[in-house]
């Protein structure tokens, strides 16, 4: 359902309180952002998955701060009323809290974002606190962190042991105390997601983390069947754009080869009198 008016963090907190689930998707361009806004997707994440689904990298790590700010600004132009979250790329916040604040500020000042997302655990609580203290809303990303994929050794569900589950639950509490305005749980067990969501007043968004979070986010290309490679098992596919687009491109290429497109009617013709003048001038020049 499409709504009018700017979406704020207060709206998201109210939705949690009222048990109204929050739909959220990634987006990387102006035109798609317009479609999401029209469809009533009020929360948009400009994810560092841009590196994989748009740039063809094998991980999210290579994408730069400049690229993220640029595409976030484009998404904002397409969805001016959405609650827009900019994904802090690798090494834009891990090295120094002052750098983290400056980079986070770029998402708000240059791209018009409402919030930034950072992949964290308790070790980065001071960084979250510094960003929040600067007046920049922070979504703390816990569980599986794609930027830490080399350390984790692959894309694996988190919170499978009691010890690991307690660590994530405690990290969520620490992030709330550090000033985060929302949490994102990626690839954690149902039990962990439920425990975190029940223990905090913050909106908790799940990414392949079961049904107990306050909202859900998925990578746009995954739900459209438009991802190169393997789609995560837990992701529901709502369209098969791979086949749809391949068929459209194939038909176009064949029309051009067979000279079925463009036809005379697809082009613009000169007025008859001007065409005759041109014919005469060309003849005179021969």
136-160 per-position pLDDT tens digit: 999 999 999 988 876 666 678 999 9
Give me the CATH number covering residue 26.
3.20.20.60
Q: What are the pLDDT digits (tens) for 249-263?
A: 999 999 999 999 999
Q: Does residue 222 belong to any structural domain of this protein? A: yes
Among 52, 119, 176, 186, the active-site one is 186
Would 4 be classed as within a structural domain? no
> Would residue 261 count as lying in a domain?
yes
Q: Is the model's pLDDT at 163 over the cut of 70?
A: yes
In angstroms, the CA 112 to CA 260 distance is 45
Annotated active-site residue 186? The verdict is yes
Tell me the per-residue pLDDT of 87-146, one tens digit each, with 9 for 90 and over: 999 999 999 999 999 999 999 999 999 999 999 999 999 999 999 999 999 999 999 998
Identify whether the C-beta of residue 1 lies closer than 8 Å to the C-beta of residue 39: no
Domain extent, residue 103, equals 9-239
Q: Residue 22 and residue 203: Cα distance in Å, rounded?
A: 9
Residues 212 and 270 in one domain: no
Which residues are CB-contacts of 54 (< 8 A; sequence separation ≥ 6)?
Answer: 28
Burial 31-70 (b: 16+ CB within 10 A, else e): ebbbebbeeebbbbbbbbbbbbbeeeeeebbebebebbbe
Q: Are 127 and 99 in contact (CB under 8 A)?
A: no
Domain count for the chain = 2
Burial class (CB in 10 A: 0-12, 13-18, 19+), 96: exposed
How much is the pTM?
0.93
Decide if 2 is inside a domain: no
The tokens describing 245, both together, are 């687009």
């Amino acid at each position: 359902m499409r709504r009018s008016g700017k979406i704020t963090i207060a709206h998201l907190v109210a939705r949690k309180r009222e048990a109204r689930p929050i739909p959220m998707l990634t987006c990387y361009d102006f035109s798609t952002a317009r479609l999401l806004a029209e469809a009533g997707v009020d929360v948009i994440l400009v994810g560092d998955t841009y590196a994989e689904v748009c740039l063809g990298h094998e991980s999210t790590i290579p994408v730069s701060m400049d690229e993220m700010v640029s595409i976030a600004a484009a998404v904002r132009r397409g969805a001016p009323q959405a609650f827009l979250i900019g994904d802090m790329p690798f090494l834009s916040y891990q090295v120094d809290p002052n750098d983290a604040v400056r980079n986070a500020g770029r998402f708000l000042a240059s791209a018009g974002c409402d919030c930034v997302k950072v992949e964290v655990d308790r070790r980065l609580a001071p960084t979250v606190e510094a960003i929040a203290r600067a007046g920049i809303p922070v979504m703390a990303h816990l569980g599986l962190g794609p930027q830490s994929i080399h350390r984790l050794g692959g894309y694996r569900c988190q919170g499978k042991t009691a010890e690991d589950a307690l660590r994530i639950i405690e990290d969520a509490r620490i992030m709330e105390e550090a000033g985060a305005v929302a949490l994102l749980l990626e690839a954690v067990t149902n039990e962990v997601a439920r425990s975190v969501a029940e223990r905090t007043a913050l909106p908790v968004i799940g990414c392949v983390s079961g049904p107990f979070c306050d909202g859900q986010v998925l990578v746009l290309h995954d739900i459209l069947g438009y991802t190169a490679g393997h789609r995560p098992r837990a992701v529901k596919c709502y369209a098969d754009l791979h086949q749809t687009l391949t068929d459209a491109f194939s038909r176009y290429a064949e029309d051009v080869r067979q000279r079925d497109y463009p036809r005379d009617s697809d082009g613009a013709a000169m007025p008859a009198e001007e065409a005759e003048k041109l014919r005469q001038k060309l003849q005179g020049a021969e």
